[in-house]
Structure 1
Amino acid sequence: MIFVISKNNQEAAGKGMSAVELMKNRAVLAGLAGSDDTQRLMTMLQKQGGVQQAAKAAAAGDPSHLMTMVEQLMSSKEGADLVARIQQQARKAGVE
């Protein structure tokens, strides 16, 4: 989730958000990262293997490997359901 926090904060900064708003988003995202659904999603990604290398590549500007892993995960009902619930939680928390 670290790469998501960075990307969201960069996008938010580009939209003129204040430092307080950025910190609020970071706190909300950190809370989402610790949720049961997110932990289950991470377990599923780790079972696929290569998640650490994919995350490092994404942080360096190449998200293709990570995106492939997420696409594979979302092809399963459980993975798609987890992602949908996490997205719903994020929307409720005011993070888009």
Structure 2
Amino acid sequence: MSKHDPDLDALKKDPQAAQLLKDPGALKSLLSAPETQKLMNLLNQSAGGSLQDAAHAAAKGKPDALMGLLSQVMQSKEGAQAVEGLQKKTTK
């Protein structure tokens, strides 16, 4: 029997996330993209250990902490470039 995952259910409600979840190849490609790795490193540095908590809260419909971290990271040149690169990869 599979466990019910409220975080996954919340992601499935977002159209872009749902599309990625239906295409494992695209999801794997996005997760392994250099821009994703760079953004994750910058978020981890900025979060001081609270990135996972912020991500869980965002998946449950409370994105404030994650958005704050992302905003902080995007103020740097590296962060802005990483986000821009990801946007290009996900917008078709």
By the TM > 0.5 criterion, same fold? yes
Distance 1:37 1:10 in 2: 25
Paired residue for 1:10? Answer: 13
Paired residue for 2:40? Answer: 42
Distance 2:28 2:13 in 1: 16
> Any idea what SS the aligned residue of 1:62 has?
coil
Corresponding letter in the other structure for 2:32: G
Corresponding letter in the other structure for 1:10: K
Name stretches of at least 5 consecutive residues in structure 1 with no aligned partner: none
Q: State the percentage of identical aligned residues.
A: 35
Extract structure 1 runs of 4+ deviating beyond 6 A: none
TM-score, normalising length from structure 2?
0.72
Corresponding letter in the other structure for 1:47: Q
Distance 1:23 1:54, change over 3 A: same
Matches within 5 A, 1:84-95: 84-91=84-91, 94=92
Paired residue for 1:23? Answer: 22
Matches within 5 A, 1:52-67: 52-67=52-67
